[in-house]
């Protein structure tokens, strides 16, 4: 049965360090999922395939691996431009999908427009784009009548207008479609969104509707819920957590003086930050790889000066200690 699938924001990135591992988890799952006959399957990525940062070599390789899996699964791949895909480098806007888009099996959508896919699906693409004198939302809210005909799927990378957070979003009631593939908003507050494939921060973990892929055929529309690739947890120092290998786990550590000490103690874990409890923190000490124990960065810095005999001016000493204090407070 002919089908076109929608996949939400993937955000391949090398930082924070755990995101690269999440990307690998997603690619492994994608490779294991059965989408049906390749000849009868197409796919649309709703944008933000990559993060907003310039991409190091490992992420370019990861992007290539993602595309290789998609090419094995689908007869054609459409990538709708997202705001994070566009990057300004030396004053020039560009994106990492330029070379990938030259492959015959891939179409990168940079401008709005209608496409009739080889499998017969009528799709309107409304990507993120820079428009002189206006913005995407206002532009799409004033689309000419030829774009308001019925579609099988409308793909967009923007916020849908509502009466709360996104009052200046796109009014989706202006358009006619059997199904929406919306990216950009990660926690899927409306069914039109797919949600990002993982939560980029703890506030995005809870979704009104589950993160999903969408499958559209000529007869049916289906949400395919995604597995959980990433979770955020809190532990109390010096407890050791039981790890779940099915997903990437990122920890906030309670009762620890600073993030560096937490990272030193929990070498095998991804540490997002610390949560201080002021009434208890004075009595907590953390042992580092040396045979000494420090209660804070200041004490460790003084020890380093003493042990190495390094001469530090008063001005530099004050500056470094103020920075260390700021780091501890964060």
Q: What is the CATH number of the domain that holds 208?
A: 3.60.21.10
pLDDT of amino acid 290: 47
Q: Are residues 237 and 88 in the same domain?
A: no
Instruction: Express as a percent the part of the chain with pLDDT over 90.
Output: 69
Contact residues for 162 (Cβ-Cβ < 8 A; gap 6+): 169, 190
pLDDT of amino acid 84: 87
Confidence of residue 311 (pLDDT cuts 50, 70, 90): low
Q: What is the pTM of this model?
A: 0.82
User: Which of 97 and 299 is assigned the larger pLDDT?
Assistant: 97
pLDDT digits 0-9 by tens, 190-249: 999 999 999 999 999 999 999 999 999 999 999 999 999 999 999 999 999 999 999 999
Q: Count of domains in the chain?
A: 3
Any domain includes 285? no
Cβ neighbourhood burial of 190 (10 Å; 0-12, 13-18, 19+): middle
Measured CA to CA, the distance from residue 278 to residue 254 in angstroms comes to: 11
Any domain includes 282? no
pLDDT of amino acid 293: 57
Any domain includes 250? yes
Quote the crossing angle between the two packed helices 297-308 and 314-329, to the nearest 10°: 150
Q: How far is CA 50 from CA 8, 55, 113, 154, in A?
A: 12, 8, 23, 21
Q: Are residues 183 and 96 in the same domain?
A: yes
Q: Are residues 196 and 269 in the same domain?
A: no
Q: Which two tokens stand for residue 173?
A: 């009631």
Any domain includes 281? no
Q: Are residues 107 and 234 in the same domain?
A: no
Find the mean pLDDT for residues 140-149: 89
Q: Are residues 8 and 41 in the same domain?
A: yes
Any domain includes 157? yes
Any domain includes 70? yes
Domain hosting residue 213, numbered range: 3-225
CA-closest candidate to residue 47, choices 77, 9, 17, 78: 9
């Amino acid at each position: 049965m002919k089908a076109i699938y929608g996949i939400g924001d993937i955000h391949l990135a090398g930082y924070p360090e755990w995101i690269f591992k999440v990307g690998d988890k997603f690619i492994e799952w994608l490779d294991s999922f059965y989408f049906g006959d390749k000849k009868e399957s197409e796919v649309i990525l709703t944008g933000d395939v990559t993060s907003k940062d310039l991409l190091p070599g490992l992420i370019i390789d990861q992007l290539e691996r993602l595309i290789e899996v998609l090419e094995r699964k689908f007869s054609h791949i459409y990538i709708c431009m997202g705001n994070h895909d566009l990057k300004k480098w030396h004053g020039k806007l560009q994106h990492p999908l330029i070379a990938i888009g030259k492959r015959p099996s891939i179409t990168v959508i940079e401008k709005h427009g209608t496409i009739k896919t080889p499998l017969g699906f009528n799709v309107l693409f409304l990507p993120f784009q820079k428009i002189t004198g206006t913005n995407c939302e206002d532009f799409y809210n004033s689309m000419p009548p030829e774009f308001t005909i019925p579609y099988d799927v409308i793909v967009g990378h923007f916020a849908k207008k509502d009466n709360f957070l996104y009052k200046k979003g796109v009014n989706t009631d202006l358009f006619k479609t059997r199904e929406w593939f919306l990216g950009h908003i990660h926690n899927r507050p409306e069914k039109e969104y797919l949600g990002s494939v993982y939560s980029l921060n703890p506030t995005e973990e809870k979704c009104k509707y589950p993160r999903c892929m969408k499958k559209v055929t000529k007869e049916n529309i289906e949400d395919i819920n995604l597995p959980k690739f990433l979770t955020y947890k809190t532990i109390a120092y010096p407890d050791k957590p039981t790890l779940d290998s099915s997903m990437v786990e990122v920890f906030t550590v309670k009762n620890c003086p600073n993030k560096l000490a937490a990272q030193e103690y929990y070498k095998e874990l991804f540490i997002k930050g610390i949560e201080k409890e002021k009434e208890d923190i004075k009595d907590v000490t953390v042992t580092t790889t040396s045979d000494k124990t420090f209660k804070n960065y200041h004490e460790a810095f003084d020890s380093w000066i003493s042990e190495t005999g390094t001469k530090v001016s008063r001005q530099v000493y004050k500056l470094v200690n103020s920075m260390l204090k700021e780091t501890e407070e964060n």
